[in-house]
Structure 1
Amino acid sequence: MPAPGQAGASTAAPVITGIGVIAPTGLSTEAHWSAVLAGRSAIGRISRFDPTPYPVRLAGQVPGFAAKEQVPSRLIRQTDHWTHMGLAAAEAAIQDAGANPAELPEYELAVVTSSSSGGTEFGQHEMENLYQHNPEWVGAYQSIAWFYAATTGQVSIRHGLRGPCGVICCEQAGGLDAVGQARRLIRTGSRLVVTGGTDASLCPYGLTAQLSAGKLSTVQDPARAYAPFDEHAAGYLPGEGGAMLIVESAESAAARGAGQGYGRVLGYAAGFDPAPGSERPPALRRTIAEALADAGVEPSAVDVVFADALGVPAADLAEAEALAEVFGPRGVPVTAPKTLTGRLYGGGAPLDVATALLALRDQVIPHTTGTDAPAPGIEIDLVLGEPRHQELTTALVLARGHGGFTAALVLGRAD
């Protein structure tokens, strides 16, 4: 692939021309957006299994998703629920972009997705077969269905995308890292990249693994269980689903009449927090500053921040302090629509990117539900109660992943 400055490389900001959403808030982009603007929560009691023995019984589940209607039957048997949703979201994103991969050079079409837990439900069923029966009951597809790159591989195969393909495994931050990697691929000669991610770890094995982090909310009231930045914040809730995005070079999009699509990827940066107990500061403030510098954007030009919003008091305070250091106390509107869905891990940040692009399109900041008011010491302008209509040209999306991953993405309104 050519390097920046060589023939075939793109130096203009890549554009996002397609969005595919499979989320607790809806099975399409517009259904999701309608739920977000209405503040319609998708949090409810887990129904994929009986959660009674577990301290966490609430989550954001994707309603009405029927894999058999969107995924070839042979792939349903070979892959996990997480990949089923990824395939459906990728198909929707490609259609939304109006792209026909068969008409484009196959080696200039790439895939890079984010994944956090992989195919945990598929893996659990195969382990049950092993422990309850014997190794002969374990299917051959166990070797690949759990694998983090399964969705990337299946999307690549299904659509004939034979350029660079990969997967980013940085938990919640990985969704922004995947878009950042898509931008790198565009800069080195790819013309179209399918990126984003989904996740689905709502099974006993998956929930048990999540409980080990000690950050899940055990509050039983769906309206108050996930309340980031609130005085009574008690952790976050898990969820499933996510979003897939089509990132294109500006030249390629213009050549096929797609224009600027939903918006432009202006800047990106990533960092990693120091070890717990270290005297060094968290990485988020510097990551934000580097993303803005990469975009050539001053803090005063950012119109809205889509926060990571972990819902853990110490982490919320650290994020609020980073925002105050960069933008000033209450210096920029902040929102966290993920309270409607729970945190979707590998699919969460891509869904935030999709939501931010829709906010830029419609010139409205969605509000945060679940939170009554910022806790003392949280000096941010958190959008509460109802959406806020104002002129928007630039959005900043933040994500942090378990273990210390941080990422920031700067998006610009379509010209």
Structure 2
Amino acid sequence: MNPATPARSPLTGQYLLVTGNYWAFTLTDGALRMLVVLHFHQLGYSPLQVAMLFLFYEVFGVVTNLVGGWLGARLGLNRTMNLGLFLQVAALAMLAVPAVMLTVPWVMAAQALSGIAKDLNKMSAKGSLKLLVPAGEQARLYRWVALLTGSKNALKGVGFFLGALLLGLLGFDGAVLAMAGALVVVWIASLVWLKADLGKASAKPKFRELVSKSAAINRLSAARLFLFGARDVWFVVALPVFLSTQLGWTHAQVGGFLALWIIGYGAVQALSPALTRTGHGPAPDGRAAMAWALPLALIPAGIALALLAGWPPGPVLVGGLMVFGALFALNSALHSYLIVSYAREDGVSLDVGFYYMANAGGRLLGTVLSGAVYQAWGLAACLWISAAFVAIAAGVSRGLPRHPVPA
């Protein structure tokens, strides 16, 4: 066993606390998204208008991941985690106002706070894994990253159901206040028990160090941007609107289907070490990232061809989305492991934050294109762009190191 293991073992409890905070936050994040979608649809907003309410959520995710990584290295991951929890409470409180105050700018501001909070939490949780697993145990690191990432996405899907349930039981104001109250309890526990030096760099990094100097991390970040742009270019706006307007699905059916998809997506992520056959062998490297991206590019292209050929759109989309989701989950889990593996141990949040900045940039790009391209050319055009983006991600991944970069 690595001799560093005993020295790191006290961090196990700290990581479990961070993970619990991350799970609690994720439930409120998914529930809040569903609350906003359902409530503002009831107020008469169109699907595209509702989607645009989340624009600042993605925009501020780009900035937060970049600056948050720097803050985490200077101040410690405990403070970035606690700040994220506090900002989520503030975002929920902002929405517990009379309906006349729920203007588009006000809701977008609340979503901006929620986006900042979410990415501070994600960076803190993912960065702490680097501190817990010894450098020589890469297969174990992959399993732990996959479990954390998969459970988070599954809980976000559960949060969709929670949001709909709370809306029915408590109404919009009651639901957001109940979630804010629960997070206050988690926040207080975090203030009391999270160690102040978790993830703090030995030397305070300068602001100019925000941009990664690692070729491996830069390539992986570029691949991540196009990977998540490929998902959201048809998933965020185009797919829900198509299912609702062209196939006649109710909003409950659309929301329930997407929630189940995300839960299944998270389950596949958690199982990815076994599914990619690395659980009992060497950990994956850059070759695996390229190899798993290539078949993924064929799925949206195949769906677009099937739709253009006149195949029944319902079965084509549902079946295609299931296959796409499974392959995308494996690709995402591989990327999430590789960034933790490539990141420097001292000031890990700088590298992780830079990488998730690219992730947020991909979501932002996909969200904007999803609405604009669907409105101009329809779902098939979104699918072709998705296939092209995945192909670019595969090409960029070709230059990733064949073995994990030592810390």
More strand as a share of residues: 1
The higher relative CO (CA closer than 8 Å, separation ≥ 6) is in: 2
- TM-score normalised according to structure 2 size: 0.30
